[in-house]
Structures are given as C-alpha cells and as structure tokens.
Structure 1
Amino acid sequence: MPERDTATFPPEQLSAATPGSTPELLHWLHQQLQAGQREASLLQSLRDTGWTDTVAHQALKAVVQWRTSQAQAPCAPTPLPGADLTRRPCLLDAGDRQVQVLMCMEQPHILLLGDLLSPDECEAIIAAAQPQMARSRTVAIRTGGEEINADRTSEGMFFQRGETPEVQRLEARLARLLRWPLANGEGLQVLHYGPGAEYKPHHDYFDPAEPGTPSILRRGGQRLGTVVVYLNEPEEGGATYFPETGLRIQPRRGNAVFFRYAQPQAHTLTLHGGDPVLRGEKWIATKWLREREFH
C-alpha cells in the first residue's frame, strides 16, 4: 500500500466512531503502520500501556480500514512551519523588527536567523529564567513523562506561553516568520550550559516506535520543527552540531537556528547536539513546534 501523508489522516473523525479510543491513539497507530510495524506488535504495545483488548482491536481495525480505503487516493503535502524564502530574501519581516537571513540549507532544512532578539531582550529572558533553573530533563519516551538524561548535562526551565513581555514578543516573531500558529508551540525552554556541559546528538521528534509516544502526542501531536535562540556567547565551544551534514553553528547572541522534520524518521538528517562548552557559559532558548495546538 502506498505511504500516506499523516496530514490527511482524520483521527478525530475515526475516534468519534471508535468508542474508548482517542485521536492521539489513532494517529499513533497510523504512524506505526506507515513505518512498517506489524499489527500483532501494535496490539501488544497497546496492551502493555493499559489499553483494553476491545479498544485496541477496534482502534487498529478502524485505522487499517481507513488506510486501505485511501490506498489509491492522491497524497497532499504535509503543512510545515517555515519562512517564505521563495525570493531568497536577505531580511524577513518579524512584525516589530527585521530579521536577517544568514544561511539556509535545503536538505535538511536549516535556517540561520540574525538579530531575532536584541541584547536587552536576551538579558531579560536570562534574568527571568535564572531563579527557576534546575537540572534539565528530557521526555521519557517509554512512559511519556520526564527523566534525567545523562546525555544532557545542562540546567533548564520552561516559560508558559507569553509569560513575560520578552517571551511574548519572541513567540509572536517566530509565529510570523515561520508562518505557524503561536498556539502550536510548546512553552519556551531556557537552558544554561556551564564549562563541560553538553547535549549529545539526538532527534527532537517523538519516536513512533516507543510505547510512551501516544500519551505525548495527546498534547498537540508530533513535533515538526525546532528553534534554538542564542542568548549569549560562550568563549569557546558550545556550537550546535549536525553530525550527519558536518554543519556547526556558533552561538551568537540574538541569533537563532530553525530546522524542521516532515516525518519522525532519521532520514530527515536532523540529528543534532550541543558541543561541550570549553570556556565561559552558554544560554539558549528552545522552541518546539507541534502539529496542532499544544496544551
């Protein structure tokens, strides 16, 4: 059966006709089948995470039937966040300021932006975040919760959307620049890396094969894009590194790098990490963009 674009899949409609299921469960099953997972394995995964046999079978049956019915239908492109680069602009309109286009790579899609934030805005975000900093956690992909990860040796915190004037302005600029609803963004995460701290290479999307993914997707669907905003400049080290392309982006205060991934798969070439800080410290703010409204 031809692969289907997840943007055309109607989880809400199927959920209404499948008692006990959720749109997130049905969307996850669709992604699993698209990735080649076997039906028996999916049923066992659902049992392991607490779904009843009745709901598991009905949900899987509904998704399989829909995919079969759509096998011959034309595929529509997946809506993705991204700036309008059709005329290869040097500047982009962020609403209340002009933002520089410093670099753009097509595969993977990576966009380096200059002067997204002013120095004063960077300092204000750091100052507001400092009292709330704690050892950074990552999403626990097997349970859907959070956990300490040895690969991520930073401190961090999350702002609620629009929590401070500076956060509100940054989110509004990103929504305009990347043509993506503000409500589809997770809360802004601020991270602090001291000497020796790093984040080893990883993907930002949620692996469809992990049993905790359905519960994560309930809050707004899959991640589609990442924005890393540099709030200061370490003296040495701390670059954002894409090992599959060999690209390293040095932190410059007020600049930001955006990259996206149309599918939660390694072929998007969006494996990335944060090099160890060798001297000084690094402050960044990270914004993840979801398929749907994040709550």
Structure 2
Amino acid sequence: MKSFHKVRPELREWILATARAGHGVPEVLRLLKEAGYDAAQSRRAVSEVLDLPLSSLNAVTPRPSGRRPAHPQAPAVALDDRAIRVSISVDSPTLRVLEGLLTPSECDDLIEAARPRLNRAMTVDKDGRQQVDAARTSQGMFFALGETPMIAALEERLARLLDMPVEFGEGLQVLHYLPGQEYEPHHDWFDPSQPGYSAITARGGQRVASVVMYLNTPEEGGGTGFPAIGLTVTAMRGSAVYFAYETGEQASLHAGLPVVRGEKWIATKWLRERSFKG
C-alpha cells in the first residue's frame, strides 16, 4: 500500500481539484483506495487538505466503484415516439425536471393497477428493516421488476433514458397522498455510518439516483421540495424529477410536500450502482 507522512503538493492539488469538481468525500476516499493508498492515512490527508475534523471521516466508507446513470443534458430527448423535455436543469445536486415522460393513459393505468394493493408506506430503519415512520404518512405499494408489460415498458424507457440496465433499478413504488399527508425532508441514499448499511447494500450496492414520476396533478400542494437549493418541483401529470447523489450528496435532501387540496399519486424508481436482481 502507498503511504504518506505529509501531504505532498501534487496530492494536495489532486484532492482539492477532485473536491472542486463536485466529488464528495466518500468518492475521494474511494479513488485514493483504488490508487493504493492506506485508508487511515487517506482520511488524515483529506482531513488536512479539506480542513475537516478527522473524527467526521472515521465513519465514512469509500463508495465502491459502480455504474453511474447518464444525466439527460439536452433541452429535449427523443425517445421512441415521444420527446421528453428537460425544463429545469441543476448541477449541484444533479437534477433534471423531465416533461412528457409518461402519457396520461400510462399514468391512469399505473394508478388503477396500484390502487388495490396500497398499504401504509414504510421506510428503512438503521438496521435495514422496514418500519412505519411518522415522517411518511402516505400509502404505497411495490411492483416487481417487469411485473407487467406496462411496468416492463416503463422500466426499459428509464433504462434507455439514463443508460442504466433495467436490473440496476429497484421495483417501482407507487405512492398515494391525501390532503395533509407528506414525506418530511430526507435523503434517499443510505448512510454508511449506520449499522445496517452493509445489510441493505449487500444486494445492489448504494443508491445513486431517484426518479419521482407524477401520475396526477394535485389541486394544490404536493410538490417535491429541495430545501438546500430553494427549489420546489411542481407535481404535474406525466412529468418527473430525476436527481442523482452517487457520492452521498447532502444537497439532494428533499421532501414530499403536503397535499393541500385534492390528492397526489407518484411512482418512484430508485437506482443502485449494481444489479438489484435477487
């Protein structure tokens, strides 16, 4: 293993340049590990160069190398018989609002297929177990990968749009919110410092991106808020918000804002860095 007692100028410049390019601490540590540097000394170097408390890095696990989604860049993306328009583009966190991802009939069909199977939506606790959480008050259900031709077609569309294999996605989740229901601010990625991290990432690895698809337009409220960047994405039928966080991006903090009037239906797809197939 390589080692260093003092941070050499060229390594200092590399750490600074990598961080400035938008790579988080877990990604910097992963790259140092792949270059052959000792983990403990890498943490000390990153602590010194980025002026971070060493204690804050001791629980950070370097992200394993894996497949990353291709972020839609053009104002409009031609896919099959539709043009998916990128109406909002943000660099940090990587975020795109996609209009025309779903047709009205696809939205209606997803709602009707999910409706009979709804239950109280769950979250994942620190040990990787499903739990009822007061922060999430909606109802929801999961489809298996490729469960129906409609689900398979949508998964294939997302795979082509993001250049990610279908099997890197978790099963599609459909959620239903009534007035007053919400999902308080949270991250979709898994915290490496939590004791259940290894168990929940053993299949598929870390989450790297999310796609939230709006299946109807609520009468009022129900958007997706990103408080760190002061952005609220309006829930409009057929559109979606895509956001990536492959290095544990703190600014990907988001919330399903309360529905004020009417109801909200969404479908969520979470992407992993490796195949999620069992």
Question: TM-score normalised to the size of structure 1?
Answer: 0.73
Rounded to whole Å, the distance in 1 between the matches of 2:276 and 2:87 is: 30
Residue type of the alignment partner of 2:171: G
- How do 1:71-86 and structure 2 match up within 5 A? 79-85=67-73
Structure 2 gaps of 5+ residues are 5-14, 16-27, 36-53
Choose which of 132, 135, 145 in structure 1 pairs with 2:120: 135
Name stretches of at least 5 consecutive residues in structure 1 with no aligned partner.
11-32, 43-62, 68-76
- Residue 258 of structure 2 is aligned to residue 276 of structure 1: yes
Q: What CA deviation, in whole Å up to 9, does each residue of 1:45-92 have, x standing for no partner? A: xxxxxxxxxxxxxxxxxx9xxx9xxxxxxxxx975213342xxx2221
Distance in 1 (CA, whole Å) between partners of 2:32 and 2:205 is 11
**Equivalence for 1:294:** 276
> Could you tell me which residue of structure 2 aligns to residue 50 of structure 1?
none
C-alpha separation between the residues in 2 aligned to 1:252 and 1:212? Answer: 36
| Residue of structure 1 in register with 2:29 after alignment | 4
1:205 aligns with 2:205: no
Counterpart of 1:115, as a letter, is: G
Number of aligned residues = 232
Cα–Cα, structure 1 residues 96 and 149, in superposed 2: closer, same or farther, change >3 Å? Answer: same
Closer, same or farther: CA 34–226 of 1 in aligned 2, 3 Å = farther
RMSD: 2.5
% identical equivalent positions: 47
Q: Does the 8 A contact of 1:5 with 1:78 survive in 2?
A: no
> C-alpha offsets along residues 107-154 of structure 1, whole Å, 9 cap, x if unaligned?
11110101101000000000000010000001112x211000100000
Counterpart in 2 of 1:240?
224
Distance in 2 of aligned mates of 1:218 and 1:78: 13
Number of the residue aligned with 2:8: none
Distance 1:229 1:172 in 2: 15
**Is the Cα contact below 8 Å between 1:136 and 1:156 reproduced in 2?**
yes
CA distance change for structure 1 residues 84 and 151 in 2, over 3 Å: closer, same or farther? closer
Query: How much has 1:35 moved relative to structure 2?
Result: 6.6
Preserved CA contact (<8 Å) 2:72 2:86: no
Q: Any conservation in 1 of the 2:66–2:273 contact (CA below 8 Å)? A: no
Where 1:122 maps in the other structure, the secondary structure is helix
**Residue type at the aligned position of 1:282:** K
In 2, the alpha carbon distance for the partners of 1:185 and 1:96 equals 23
Instruction: Report 1:106-145 matches (<5 A).
Output: 106-141=91-126, 143-145=127-129
Q: CA deviation at 1:247?
A: 0.1
- Take 1:7 and 1:136, find their aligned partners in 2: how far apart are those partners? 39
CA distance in 1, matches of 2:94, 2:100: 20
State how 1:1-295 maps to structure 2 within 5 Å. Answer: 3-5=28-30, 36-37=57-58, 79-85=67-73, 89-141=74-126, 143-266=127-250, 269-295=251-277
d(CA) in 2 for partners of 1:174 and 1:104?
18
Aligned partner of residue 99 in structure 1, secondary structure: strand
- How far apart are the structure 2 equivalents of 1:157 and 1:194? 15
